[in-house]
Structure 1
Amino acid sequence: MRHRYLGITTAIAVMSTMGLAGCSGTTGSGDVTLKLVAADYGNSPETSSSVYWKKLASEFERTHPGITVDVDVRSWKTVDADVAALVKKGQAPDMAQVGSFADYAEAGKLYSADQVLSVPVQSGFVAQLAAAGKVDQTQYGLPFVASTRLLFYNRKLFDEAGISAPKDWDDIRSDAEALKAEGVPVPFALPLGTEESQAETMMWLLSGGGGYTNSTDDSYSIDSDENVKTFEWLQKNLVGKGLTGPVKPGELDRADAFKQFTEGKVGMLNGHPTLMNSARKAHVDFGMVPMPGKDGDVKSSMGVADWMMAFKQNGHAQQIGEFLDYVYNDKNVMDFVKQYDLLPVTYSANTLMAQDTAHNDLREFQKTLDNAELYPFGKSSWSQVSDEIKKNIGKAVEPGADPRQILTRISKDANTADATEAGK
């Protein structure tokens, strides 16, 4: 997948009058039970995504007699592997809301978007997100929610250290040193553990002028000179100076880093929109700025999309389409993104969010969509490569390690995986 940038601000203005199709009427096609496996965005029984999905399914069933929706919400840590296991056993769900789709599309297991969605719904997706859902020029991945990343910092700790928000890497280092001198346990949290280190890695690669893939031939370029220099800097200037806290970055998960931030133990870290709500509940006074580049502003920041996909196995294209049309109406989209402080994936819902003063903080994340780059979702090898990064990238910043050697091994394995998938 080529580098994709999300120019959403202009697109929202152009598309602001568009409305999404809502409920598409009763099916009249006999009793069908649809199986949906979805990821859990909550962190407690009260905030679990199962509450949202079961309510939505119940409302849908009332207006669509003959269709029952069986919702199975799984942890983000296991949902991709759980769906893969079901597919391998020949028990694919009708729909899955997970983190990747390309390998299933390559294997011919998915309905394309135009096979299940009404035209108004399919055309309502933000164009660049829809493009990121394509494999061989056909859209199989339906964007479900999006987010970008900003650098969060604890204002109280910064004030006590007499420092301001960083504008480049030198500022990050000097701010972290000042925080350490004030006794802050974790001046800069660097979660390169197995939970979501592919995201932390990408943020740093982009801020260093690199990225996961080569824009010329779309091959993985994880060991590019820019990327190696980025990890050498992290190793020398943050980890090597004891500025990332007592836990090794390779053993620190995002959730633990976020928790420490809400406990006032972290000076700064990269975060997504859901961290805002957790920090507010914990009465942490925080600020947010775009992730600084090595020498200042960056050309592109990181954007993330999670995906919905529809499996062919059970042959329920019509019923799947009716349910997904309902899922993507403005009310249901907004109900979900408002609950979890995420960004909508449709033009009309983005317009609603931009017009609602209650979402002023999220507008800062919306602004960064203008120059955001996504993971290489269109590569069927991406899920395998992502797992490889999660398992090994933390080693590249350990004292005494050779970042180039580790990045070269990851990049070589990535391109091997890519060639294998392409040859299937």
Structure 2
Amino acid sequence: MERRRFLGIAATGVAAASTMSLASCGSGGPGGDEVTLKLVAAEYGAPGKPDSSQHYWEKLARAFEKKHPGIKIDVQTYLWDDVDAKVAEMVKEGKAPDLAQIGAYAVYAAQDQLYSADQLLTISAQANFIPAIAAPGEYRRVQYGLPFTSSSRLLFYNKTLFERAGLDPDAAPESWAEIKAAAKALKAAGVKIPYGLPLGREEPQAEALLWMLGNGGGYTDKVGSYTIDSNNNVETFDWIRKNLTGAGLTNNAPGETNRRDIAEAFTKGEAGMIFGHPTFMREIRAKNIKFGISKRLPGREGPMEATMGVVDWMMAFKQNGRRKEIGAFLDYVFQDDKVLEFAEQYALLPTTTSAVQKMTAQRGSTELKPFLDQLQTAEFYPAGKTSWAAVNQAVKDNIGKAADPGGDPEKVLGKIQNEAQKASSME
């Protein structure tokens, strides 16, 4: 999975409020028995290292338990490669966690296994979500996925390599034509990978969407129908094939190259341009690479109003019937100071209006500002469709072929569209 992340629900909003707040700090289960909530969460750092998410959650859980003696929190974090599958396994075995912070929720919502947002949060808390971020958390117009963390994507470029190629190090490419021109100059200057194009199986759905958005395309239309083989999308991959891969301006075999491989090449000073998320800045700085970031997504004709956004979700399972205790914990987890602490630690973005305002006020005009600005209009995966898991897999299996110099984008995208229609017919 692509990864990326951060959370947010404002302190004033996320109260478990009138219907679900605890009767007292000492309240636990029926008859006053102690309740233990099981939380499974994604790992945003490195297991066993100081930046591990396990440390963040353990610290937060212990602080919560002091305020709520009747509730214990059992936390387990897993790598992104494993966490969704781990939760799915637990659910299948009839041992669903009370809370899961993972990448997909729609399948569980469709099976009526989750509490809806209005069963956990106040109206003001729900209204505080940035609309573009909240919408992908809905299944059949009911919100089940609570936006826990978010990020947007912009173009990163190596200033040192730009200078070597005679390019202005303070001017990020703003259009596809400028990306192509910069890539040609970088190649002439001996740069190994002028533009890094990761369409391997790790996260090609992100790279593909960024390019499709740049030409007015995407995975779905405004009413949620799949439009993967639209004329705009076919034209996008024709352009990539003719102007980048076919011209030798990318890494070899993009369809076999993963995002982490391209990210590593950039941090080694071997790639001139790539699309990246806020957390990537930390990795680049650790390698002392001078870099710049575009203010907006470069599109076919110029800068785009929107870029791609990614959301990871918090969800609450009904199985153990602990809505009251879950609501109290979410009230604590989603307070602005907790939200911003997580954001600072992992260089990620808030998902609520109040937290964005606070981050902007605290940070002012910083490198995160372009990413924050994009959140209001970002385009997200159609996570609210139960078919998306199958469609996403079809994209991973095939999309790289659409960028091959000798490939046939119309045929490749048509194949994915057929898979999408089959999957959506079963929703």
- TM-score, length of structure 2 as denominator length: 0.90
- Asked whether 1:262 is paired with 2:251, we answer no
Q: How many residues align?
A: 404
Which residue matches 1:33?
Answer: 36
> 1:93 aligned to 78, 91, 97, which one?
97
Q: 1:305, 1:49 → 2: CA distance? A: 17
Runs (4+) off by over 6 Å = none
Letter in 2 for 1:250: G
Q: 2:57, 2:364 → 1: CA distance? A: 24
Q: Deviations along 1:125-168, whole A, 9 cap, x unmatched?
A: 22332232111221101001111111000011001101242121
> 2:188 aligned to 181, 192, 215, which one?
181
Q: How far is 1:299 from its partner?
A: 4.3
Which residue matches 1:10?
Answer: none
Q: How far is 1:28 from its partner?
A: 3.6
Which residue matches 2:279?
Answer: 274
Q: 1:62, 1:359 → 2: CA distance? A: 37
Q: 1:233, 1:301 → 2: CA distance? A: 19
> 1:56 aligned to 56, 60, 69, which one?
60
Q: 1:267, 1:405 → 2: CA distance? A: 31
Which residue matches 1:73?
Answer: 77
Unaligned runs of 5+ in 2: 1-8
- Asked whether 1:389 is paired with 2:389, we answer no
> 1:335 aligned to 341, 351, 359, which one?
341
| Structure 1 residue matching 2:73: 3-state secondary structure | strand
- Asked whether 1:195 is paired with 2:188, we answer no
Q: CA RMSD in A?
A: 2.0
- Asked whether 1:313 is paired with 2:319, we answer yes
Letter in 1 for 2:104: S
Between 60-69 and 333-342, the greater mean CA deviation after superposition: 60-69
Letter in 1 for 2:289: V
Q: How far is 1:405 from its partner?
A: 0.7
Q: How far is 1:400 from its partner?
A: 2.1
Q: How far is 1:207 from its partner?
A: 0.4
| Structure 1 residue matching 2:41: 3-state secondary structure | strand
Letter in 1 for 2:254: P
| Structure 2 residue matching 1:373: 3-state secondary structure | coil
| 1:118–1:325 contact (8 Å) kept in structure 2 | no
Which residue matches 1:7?
Answer: none
Q: 2:58, 2:203 → 1: CA distance? A: 27
Q: How far is 1:51 from its partner?
A: 1.5
Unaligned runs of 5+ in 1: 1-14
Q: How far is 1:121 from its partner?
A: 3.3
Which residue matches 1:302?
Answer: 308
> 1:126 aligned to 115, 130, 148, which one?
130
Which residue matches 2:407?
Answer: 401
| Structure 2 residue matching 1:401: 3-state secondary structure | coil
Between 292-301 and 153-162, the greater mean CA deviation after superposition: 292-301
Q: 1:46, 1:235 → 2: CA distance? A: 43
Q: 1:188, 1:122 → 2: CA distance? A: 40
Letter in 1 for 2:225: S
> 1:143 aligned to 129, 134, 147, which one?
147
Which residue matches 1:19?
Answer: 12
Q: How far is 1:119 from its partner?
A: 4.4
| Structure 2 residue matching 1:408: 3-state secondary structure | helix
| Structure 1 residue matching 2:61: 3-state secondary structure | helix
Q: How far is 1:237 from its partner?
A: 1.4
Q: 1:117, 1:395 → 2: CA distance? A: 44
Q: 1:134, 1:167 → 2: CA distance? A: 33
Q: 1:370, 1:120 → 2: CA distance? A: 18
Letter in 2 for 1:60: F
| Structure 2 residue matching 1:42: 3-state secondary structure | coil
**Structure 1 residues 302 and 251, CA gap change in structure 2 (3 angstroms):** same
| Structure 2 residue matching 1:371: 3-state secondary structure | coil
Q: How far is 1:410 from its partner?
A: 0.6
> 2:423 aligned to 399, 404, 417, which one?
417
Letter in 1 for 2:396: K
Q: 2:147, 2:242 → 1: CA distance? A: 38
Between 294-303 and 182-191, the greater mean CA deviation after superposition: 294-303
Q: Deviations along 1:363-405, whole A, 9 cap, x unmatched?
A: 1111122331111122111122112212221121123221111
Over the matched positions of the two proteins, sequence identity in percent amounts to 49
